[in-house]
Structure 1
Amino acid sequence: MTMLSVAEARAKARTRLRSSMSTWATQSDPVVVEIALHPPTEKQVLEDQAVAMEWAGTWRKVAAPEASDSKPENLNSPNIDWAQRSWARVGRQQIPLRLRLRTPDAVANFVGGDEARWWRRLRDRTATIRSRFDDQHAAASARVKDVVANNEDAAACVDPLVSAIRAHAKRILGLAEAEFATLLDVVDWLRDNPVGTLRPRQLPIRGVDSKWFETHRSLVTALLEATGRPEAVDVLDAEPRIRLRILDPELIPSGLSDVTAPVTQLSELAIAPRLVFVFENLESVLAMPDWADAVAVHGSGYAVDNVARQAWVHGARVIYWGDLDSHGFAILSRLRKHLPHVNSTLMAEGTLIDHKDLWVQEPKPHTGVLPELTGTETRALARLRAEGDVRLEQERIPWATALAALKATAASAGESADASNKSSASQGEPTTSASEPAAPRRAQG
């Protein structure tokens, strides 16, 4: 068996520190990390005595056999179990058997580097949070002790502050010192002051604005819930907005053609388009020509759910066009959960292959399963991944190519509607078509 080097033991301890950091920071139970050093046998020593002696010497520098581990100050230092071997041909030797790190600080001290700094920061910030909200923490801790004393299931009674810190340890760790201080001030203030429906801009806390609150809201909410005041975070964020281009002026006689408005207000718009284009690229929305009975909507990425909240969308045919990459398909899948009748365009394998010279690498691809995709879309996604997570950005496709595809998809999506219109026409009802761009009908003065 290979002797474990100091570097290899340090790597093992580093992995353990990374995976256990949030647990260790929030528990009072003792922590001992033991790592077997796999010392050599007499036969192995004889095969290369110099290497064996050098190996033992490196561990002696970490913690010599003579070092006393009984003093409290030594608990945060590495400790090694040494054993004396009396070998016939090598003689009496002190051999390191096992590395013992008896506290999280001992693990951090042995590991060193960034991980040690991260541990100390999380340890100190956890202590600060628990001290700041000591009244709630004390009550929860007392309840946990009662549970244990009565042999109840301790898992049924988890300290909510501990749960919050563990769930958000990475975010707590990543805050700059000023941000962390502001976080505590915000939680303190919201806990003690009922806010009703204040805007983030109205909070009387230095350094807090709507952007800060949007970034840190989940962490603030978790800590407030841990203090027993989940309702205290009733602070309003700005309502998301949607940009809409009305491609047929007759849909809204006022002449308004380019609208950006809150989601709820836009849903009340008195329009009834027969065709809705949803694009992820704003330039594509702005480039759209006049189109009878049609509108173009900027999807805004994963906020595409907001498109489905528009009342006037549900009675229309919907065509989605996004970047030809994993996230584009994830957004399409998300939209189709709310609007099952959505058709996609330019999101097939053929489009990808035809524009191979325009591919770029997708930095952080989506890896989840997307069951709402059609067979054609699923094959295109598989090809993207097989080619090494490439992407074809929407705006890189020539506009003439894009417009031709939009016309074809609109015509295909409108076939069933046209059949319905013919049936209506036989009963004397007027018919129109939203399959192609056209100079829209304009009201006569």
Structure 2
Amino acid sequence: MKSVAPSAVVDKARTTYRNRRGRWIADPDAAASASVTVALHPPSETAVAADPDAAVAWVRTWHGYAGHGTVAWETRRWRSFGTQDVPVRVVLSGAAEIAAAAGRAAEWRTLTDRRQRLLAELGPGTAGLAAAVAATHSRWLGLDDTDFGRLVATVRWLAANPSSGLLVRQLPIPGVDTKWLAQHRGTVESVLEGVCGDRDLGVRALPRLCEVAVLDRTLLPAAPRIFATSLGELAALPLRPTVTVVLENKEGVHA
């Protein structure tokens, strides 16, 4: 088997980080105890005899290794080459070191810092919130600091005011408007459910408007011939037509 180069540590760290990141966010204990072992497969005595210069160069590479992890060495006793110390494995310990080896140290710090903030500000010790935070981590990781702050503030306010009945633009949360909430609603709902067990934001949507054409002008003489209103307001009007025509498109109403 071919001896392993230092680049293999990076490759395995990247694969491990990508596959386990979500699990580590869900379980900090698992993150702390995580480890990755990269077997280096040092050359055999036969391989050294076939190409001693390559074997020496390989050992020197690991003597000068400045990457992440701990290099373990073992002694080999060879008949033709005497006693030699060779590297046999690299061990990465903990999610932080694995992330660093994968080139994701900054990302991992952001993940852990934001997870801690979400739990501290929204519901420390809440199992449901911890699960929701882990399940949505890829979404809130992608937010910039401003939008992440808005996410925390929005969930905190909605949890404290579960049935506000306000329109989205009325929410007293800086920077949060209809467009922002529409873009991030799924994340807000998921985290809110982790806090209080309910995805309902408690806000009021704009009513759906129906276009109405008054064909008999004597029914509403002071109203426009064509107007738009909600079903509730339409039902409250003093209208009792003997015939109502329901059309499925606006062109028919205007025609």
Partner secondary structure for residue 101 of structure 1: strand
Partner in structure 2 of residue 221 of structure 1: 189
Matches within 5 A, 1:110-149: 110-112=101-103, 115-133=104-122, 136-138=123-125, 140=126
Partner in structure 2 of residue 270 of structure 1: 245
Contact map agreement 2:35 2:94 (CA 8 A) in 1:
yes
Partner in structure 2 of residue 17 of structure 1: 17
- Residue 229 of structure 1: CA displacement? 4.8
TM-score by length of 1: 0.46
Contact map agreement 2:190 2:199 (CA 8 A) in 1:
no
TM-score by length of 2: 0.76
Return the letter of the residue paired with 1:131: A
Partner in structure 2 of residue 189 of structure 1: 157
Partner secondary structure for residue 89 of structure 2: strand
> Within 2, Cα distance between the matches of 1:237 and 1:37?
61
> Within 1, Cα distance between the matches of 2:86 and 2:129?
45
Taking only aligned residues, the RMSD between alpha carbons, in angstroms, comes to 3.3
Count of equivalent residues: 229
Partner in structure 2 of residue 103 of structure 1: 94
Matches within 5 A, 1:176-325: 176-230=144-198, 233-238=201-206, 270-272=245-247
- Residue 206 of structure 1: CA displacement? 0.5
- Residue 37 of structure 1: CA displacement? 1.8
Unaligned runs of 5+ residues in structure 1 are 65-76, 141-158, 245-250, 277-293, 296-441
> Within 2, Cα distance between the matches of 1:241 and 1:49?
84
- Residue 197 of structure 1: CA displacement? 2.0
Unaligned runs of 5+ residues in structure 2 are 217-225, 236-243
**Pair 1:170-2:170 in alignment:** no
> Within 2, Cα distance between the matches of 1:262 and 1:117?
53
Contact map agreement 2:35 2:91 (CA 8 A) in 1:
yes
Partner in structure 2 of residue 413 of structure 1: none
Deviations 1:169-212 (A, max 9, x none): 11111000111111111111111123432111011010000011
> Within 2, Cα distance between the matches of 1:129 and 1:204?
20
Contact map agreement 2:153 2:173 (CA 8 A) in 1:
yes
- Residue 119 of structure 1: CA displacement? 1.8
Partner secondary structure for residue 196 of structure 2: coil
Partner in structure 1 of residue 82 of structure 2: 91
Contact map agreement 1:22 1:165 (CA 8 A) in 2:
no
> Within 1, Cα distance between the matches of 2:86 and 2:194?
50
- Residue 241 of structure 1: CA displacement? 8.5
- Residue 56 of structure 1: CA displacement? 2.4
Contact map agreement 1:210 1:237 (CA 8 A) in 2:
no
> Within 2, Cα distance between the matches of 1:58 and 1:209?
57
Which is bigger in relative contact order (C-alpha 8 A, separation at least 6)? 2
Contact map agreement 2:9 2:101 (CA 8 A) in 1:
no
> Within 2, Cα distance between the matches of 1:177 and 1:183?
10
Partner in structure 2 of residue 2 of structure 1: 2
> Within 1, Cα distance between the matches of 2:151 and 2:129?
15
